[in-house]
Structure 1
Amino acid sequence: MKVLNYGSLNYDYVYEVDHINKPGETQSCQARNVFCGGKGLNQSVALARAGVLVYQGGLIGEDGQLFLDICRENGIDTSYLGRTEGPCGHAVIQLDKNGENSIMIYGGANQKQTPEHIAQVLENFGEGDILLLQNEVNGLKDLIDQAWKRQMKIILNPSPWNDVLKECDLKKVSIFLINEVEGEQITGKQKPEEILEEMERFYPDAQTVLTLGSQGAIWQGEGRQIRQEAYPVKTVDTTAAGDTFTGYFIAGLTENIPMEENLNRAARASAIAVSRMGAAPSIPLRREVESWTNF
C-alpha cells in the first residue's frame, strides 16, 4: 500500500495579534513569522513523522526550493512534485492571543495542476493505494475520477469548502475528514450528531472523522461510532492541529491499528502540535507522541 498526498504547499505568513480583525478594523501586530505550510505539506509531514513513506504530489513555483528541502529532511518522496512558472502559494494568517487563527490563501502554483500532470502522477499508483486530498489545489475532480478508476482508496479533507467540491462525485470518497464548519457546509446541520447522521445518509459507504476542536473527535463507519476526547493543553497555535490529526490517523490505517487506539494516538499528536508555534514545524515525531505523558 502506497500513500500519495496530492496537495498544496504554501508559505505561511503568521501575524500575531491580540484578536482576529473585524471588518474595517486596523490593529498592530506583535510579531510576524514565516513558516512552510499548506495542508498538503502539513499532512505529508505528519504522515512522515508518524512513520509512513508518503509521496508528495502537486506543484511548486520558482521560489519552491525550500519545500523540496523540507520534504527531503522529513523523508517525504518528491518524485511526483512538479515545478511551474511563477510563485508558490502562500497564506496570510492572523494568530490571536488564545491561539485561534484566521487564514487567507493565495493559490499560486497550487492552482496550476493540469490533467496531463495528474495522469502522469497517478499512473504510478493502483488498487489499494491511498490518495489523500484537500481542496487547496485545482483539478480535484480529475484527481478523484482518475483515482477511482485505478481503485485507489480516496481520503478527502474538503477544506476549504466551495463550489469546486460540488462538481466532484463525492460518493467515490472512502473516508471524509471534516471539522464542524465543513460538516455544516456539507450537510446543512450544526450539531455533531446531526452532521454524522446526514453524512451516513449522503455517503453510506464512506467513513467519517468529525473533529471537534477542544471537544475531541468522532469516527463513524461500519455501523458504529467511536468518540475520542481531546487532551487539554495550553494552546499556542492551532494552525496544523487538524493536519496533524489527519496524518497520524491515516498512518494508523496503514498499520491496521485498532480504531480506538488510532484515534487516541492522533489526538495526542494534535495536542502536542497546538502547544507549539507554526504549521509544519509544530508537528511531533512519532517517538514524541508515544512517550508523551503531559495529560
Structure 2
Amino acid sequence: MIMELLQSPLMQRALLAAVLVGITAPAIGIYLVQRRQALMGDGIGHIAMTGVGLGFLLNSSPVWMATLVSVVGAVSMELIRSYGRMRGDVALAMLFYGGMSGGVLLINLSPTGSNANLSSYLFGSLATVSQSDVTAICVLAAFVILVTLGLRRQLFAVSQDEEFARVTGLPVRVLNLLIAVTAAVTVTVAMRVVGLLLVSALMVVPVAAAQQLTKSFAVTFVLAVVIGTAVTLSGTITSYYQDVPPGATIVLLAIVVFVALTALAAPLARRRARVARAAEAGGGPGVPATRRPVESAGT
C-alpha cells in the first residue's frame, strides 16, 4: 500500500508539499503566537486571494502572484499595526475583506477561473498540486526555513519584548517586517495543501499543542514542527484514500493532537507539583521527603 502510494506522481508531489508545509507553518507560527498575532495568517490568507485571482486573470502562476500580493499585504498590516491608533483595526478589517472580495471577483472575471479553482485554493486540493507548484513551494519553503532558523535568536527577542530588543540594538522594525513577510510566504507555501482559509490553524495549533508539554522555546519549536509534519502527512494520506478534503483533515488531526496533549499535560503538571512540594518539604530538589532520612543515614 505504501509502495503504491509512493509510485503515484500525484502523491509524490503532494507528500513533498505536505512535509514542507508541516515544517514551515509551525516554524513561523511560533513567533506569531509569541507576539499574540495568532490570526495574522488568516488575514494574509484573505489578502492572498487577490493574488490568486490576478494570477488567473493575467494567465500567470497563481502561487507566485499570491506571494507578491501577500507580501505587500503583510507589510501593510505591519505598518498599520506599528503606526495605527484607534482606527487601526478598521483598516485591517477592510484590508482582509477587500482582499478576499477582490480575489473572488478576479477569479470569476478570468477566462480560466471557476468555482472549482476557487475551492481548491480556499480549502486545498491534492489533485491540483502541479510540478510548477512544487518547485515554487520548495523555493519559498527554503526561504522560510532559513529565516526562522538562521535568525531565531533575533526573532525570538523581538517577539518576546520589542522594547528590550530595541535597547539591545536590534533593528526591531526590520525584524517585524521580516516576520510579516515570512508569514506571507508561508501562507502561499501552504495554500495548495491546506487552503487559504485554514492555513492559520496550521501555524497556531501545532505550537499550542507543543506548549502543553514544553516550556523551553527551542523544545517547543522542534515539537511543533514534528507535530505539524505528522499531521500534514497523515492528513494527506487520509485524503488520498478516503477522498476527503486535505486541508480540513489536516486541521482536524492537529486539533485532535492538541486535545490529547492537553489531557496528558494536566496529570503531568499535577505530578510535577507534587514532586516540587515534596522536594521543598524534604529540603532538597527533586527528592521526596520520605526518602531524605534514608539517604542521610547512608552518607
TM-score, length of structure 1 as denominator length: 0.26
Higher-RCO chain (CA-CA 8 Å, sequence separation at least 6): 2
Q: Of the two, which has the highest radius of gyration?
A: 2
Which protein has the bigger strand share? 1
TM-score, length of structure 2 as denominator length: 0.26
Which protein has the bigger helix share? 2
